[in-house]
Amino acid sequence: MDILVFVKRVAATQEEELRLIDDGKNIDLSKIPFKMNDWDNYAVEEAVKIVEGQGGSVTAISIGSAESDEVLRRAIAMGSKDGILMETQEAIHDPALRAQAIYNFLKKEDIKFDAIFTGVQSEDDQFAATGGILAGKMDLPYASMVIGIDAIENGYFVLRRELEGGLQERIKIKAPCILSIQSGINEPRYVSIMGIRKASKVERKTFKFNDFASRGDAIIDLIKWSYPEKKGGATMLTGEMDEICKEILEILKKKGVC
């Protein structure tokens, strides 16, 4: 089975306070390190596991700046056969534009595949939409929130999707198809620096994003960014033991857990 996996290089902002600059037109990421999008890490691992089991190949594809080569090398170190970069210096904020470019690229370059994997979402824009839009455009069956692939038989994936509250649904989906992989589906392997260095020797092809779509094709506009409403530190509950405990129960009720 030949699987294409889309991987994205994102800013590691989990512990950072972000600063907006240029009147909210930009986010200052200048001092923030980058890494592979967490969900894509799971998607690569899942694809590699499948190929290790039944043969085929994994190709990692990234849309982004030249630095996105980092995540391609990582994907190769994890077991991908090769990597493709669709290079664009500017960030893309419309998932429809992203999907349009991928669609045009796959058609024009006549890329063959049995499945496309994406992460459910990326840590930066959290759209969770690129895989689905692409599937709609390509007229391919689609599933998101894939938390387990139970079998691949007779041209079908039998897989589980994560729903809410500990519930899952098992579905059957026909290949070729597009699957968006949920974090936690597997335990992504560790890739050592030595492994990444070795991966540098594997060829990665570079294409220009603009050859497949132009920014004018975006169908939503990002006007600017703003900060969320401020939340102060802990609200301290004080007073009589009785009142405090009633307040705790009130909070639990509001959160719907008690």
Partner 1 sequence: MQDEAASRVLVCIQCGKCTGGCPESGRTPFNIRMLVRKKQFSYTIDESIPWYCTACNACTIRCPRDVKPSEVVIDIRSTLVENGDIPLAIQKALENTFVQKNPWGKPRSKRGEWAGKLNFKVPHISETEHKRLLFLCCVHAYDPRCMVIPVNVATLLHRAGYEFGILGEEECCCGNEIRRIGELGLFEELMEENKTNFKEYGVKEIIALSPHCMNTMKNEYGDTGIKVMHYTEVLSGLIKEGALKPHKPFEKEIIYHDPCFLGKQNKIFEEPRDILKSINNTNLKEFSRSKEISLCCEGGGGRMFFEVETHYKRNSETRVEEAQSKGVEIITTACPFCVMTLEEKAVEKGLAVKELSEILMEVI
Partner 2 sequence: MSYALIISEVRRGVFEERNLDSIGMAHLAGKDAFLLIPEGNYNLNNSIVNKIIKAKLEESLFLNPLIITELISKIIGTLGAPEIVIFTHSSSGIELASYLAGKMSLPIITDVSGYDRNEQIFFKSYYSDKVFGQFKKAKESPLVITVRSGSFKDHVTEKGKNAEEITVDGPSGIEERSFVEYVEEEKTGVDITKAEFLLSLGRGIGNKDEIPKFEELANLMKATISGSRPVIDKQWLPKERQVGTSGKTVKPKVYLAMGISGAFQHIAGMKDSECIIAVNKDPEAPIFQYAHYGIVADANKIRDKLKDLLQG
* Nearer CB in complex with partner 1: 137/189: 189
Residue closer to partner 1, measured from CB, 197 or 208: 197
Q: Nearest to residue 65, comparing CAs of 134, 122, 8, 127?
A: 8
Tokens encoding 128: 């969770």
Interface with partner 2 (CB under 8 A), residue from 2, 70, 114, 124 = 124
Rounded to a whole number of angstroms, the minimum distance from the CB of residue 188 to partner 1 is 9
Least distance (Å) between residue 14 CB and partner 2 = 7
Considering only residues 42 to 71 of the shown chain, the ones binding partner 2 according to CB under 8 A are: none
Q: Which of 46-54, 56-64, 194-202, 246-254 is the region at the interface with partner 2 (rule: CB under 8 A)? A: 246-254
Please provide residue 230's backbone torsions phi and psi, each rounded to the nearest 5 degrees: -65, 135
Instruction: Work out which of 107, 163, 197, 214 binds partner 2, going by CB under 8 A.
Output: 163
**Contact call for residues 198 and 77 (beta carbons, < 8 A):** yes
Neighbours of 77 (CB within 10 A): 22
Give the alpha-carbon dihedral of 167, 172, 173, 178, to 10 degrees: 30
Q: How many angstroms separate the CA atoms of 86 and 206, rounded?
A: 6
Q: Which positions ≥6 away from 228 have C-beta within 8 Å?
A: none
Part in contact with partner 2 (CB under 8 A); list of ranges 35-43, 54-62, 79-87, 94-102: 94-102
User: Of 58 and 116, which has the nearer Cβ to partner 2?
Assistant: 116
Note whether 187 binds partner 2 by CB under 8 A. Answer: no
Q: Which stretch binds partner 2 (CB under 8 A): 48-56, 68-76, 198-206, 213-221?
A: 213-221
- Confirm or reject binding of residue 93 to partner 2 (CB under 8 A): yes
95-108 vs 130-138: helix crossing angle, rounded to 10: 50
The single residue listed with the structure tokens 């974090």 is: 183
Is residue 152 part of the contact set for partner 2 (CB under 8 A)? no
**Pairwise CA distance, residues 242 & 5, whole Å:** 56
The interface region with partner 2, picked from 43-51, 55-63, 188-196, 216-224 by CB under 8 A, is 216-224
Name which of 148, 144, 172, 151 is nearest 160 in CA terms.
148
Residues making contact with partner 1 (CB under 8 A): 12, 14-16, 31-35, 187, 189-197
